[in-house]
Amino acid sequence: MPFEMILTETQGRVAVIRLNRPQALNALCDQLMTELGQALRDYDSDPAIAAIVITGSEKAFAAGADIKEMKDRTFPAVYFNDFIGERWETVLEIRKPVIAAVAGFALGGGCELAMMCDLIIAADTAKFGQPEINLGIIPGAGGSQRLTRAVGKSKAMEMILTGRMMDAAEAERANLVTRVVPAAELVAEAVKIGAKIGALSAPSVAMAKEAVNAAFEGTLTEGVRTERRLFLSLFATEDQKEGMSAFAEKRKPAFGNR
Ligand code: HXC
């Protein structure tokens, strides 16, 4: 099925998925989320791809879930046809690094989608917010949890209770984003990070991602145990032998990348 609401391209081993519904500031309707999920799964299983960038337009990464699509939905309809679980959580299943490259508005579900990615690179034009309170709802795709873990209780509480947006500089100070770059360099910068990761050993990249994510999921003891198991299991890979031999022999490692 050709995509209608996203554009995809590859730059070397990095896939770039661009949300492309400009007339609605990339509002995340069911079709867009289904297409995004399909593209993410396809790239995750493609051995030629090492990392995935999700981006939007200059004006909006995404202005949230599609309010016009949601407004008449009844409780039984949203409860039994769980549109969040079905379509929104695919990005969490992806084992390759997923980088959000955010310019313009990342609001509501748009901010939540960015926070589900492994890291966020922001353009200096980026604006993050959880304005759901203005609609008589609250964040529904993890925003109250991930924003609080990223920026702390006081700032998250203020943003979620008042709907105030955070600009790029504040988002960087608050540790919501990795760094801020000029808007014109946004996607190139994200692709550069993806390419750097793509040159490394794929098993260690996947396990590093799993280990960092474990810090979000459970207790410190469980996380440390997970890290140790993953660390030890990497001694079963050829890339570990290659990486360490290359260091000892003062040469660059040639990882298998699979
Ligand atoms: C549907 C949207 C939309 C959205 C913008 N549009 N955001 N349509 N859902 N979330 C549409 C507008 O209706 C308008 O369509 C067009 O995009 C341009 O938007 P404008 O408002 O004219 O642009 P501007 O004045 O520049 O204001 C930009 C904005 C504003 C500040 C981002 O659009 C805005 O406040 N949007 C809603 C943000 C929001 O509340 N997000 C949270 C959604 S709830 P027309 O046809 O009039 O040109 C959510 C819950 C997630 O995300 C829970 C998990 C599923």
Instruction: Give pLDDT tens digits along the chain (258 positions).
Output: 689 999 999 999 999 999 999 999 999 999 999 999 999 999 999 999 999 999 999 999 999 999 999 999 999 989 888 888 878 999 999 999 999 999 999 999 999 999 999 999 999 999 999 999 999 999 999 999 999 999 999 999 999 999 999 999 999 999 999 999 999 999 999 999 999 999 999 999 999 999 999 998 899 999 999 999 999 999 999 999 999 999 999 999 999 865
CA atoms within 13 A on the CB side of 38: 14
Q: How far apart are CA 124 and CA 180, in angstroms?
A: 6
H helices of 12-95, in order, are 30-44, 67-70, 75-80, 83-88, 90-93
What is the value of ipTM here, to two decimals?
0.98
Pocket lining: 71 vs ligand 1, CB cutoff 6 Å: no
Length of the chain as a residue count:
258
**pTM score of the predicted model:** 0.97
Question: What one-character DSSP code corresponds to residue 211?
Answer: H
Query: Do 37 and 212 meet the contact criterion of CB atoms below 8 Å apart?
Result: no
Mutate to test the pocket of ligand 1, among 25, 70, 88 (most ligand atoms within 8 A of CB): 25
Q: How far apart are CA 36 and CA 19, in angstroms?
A: 8
Atom 32 in ligand 1: residue holding the nearest Cα? 63
Residues with catalytic function = 65, 109, 112, 132
Six token digits for residue 104: 């313009």
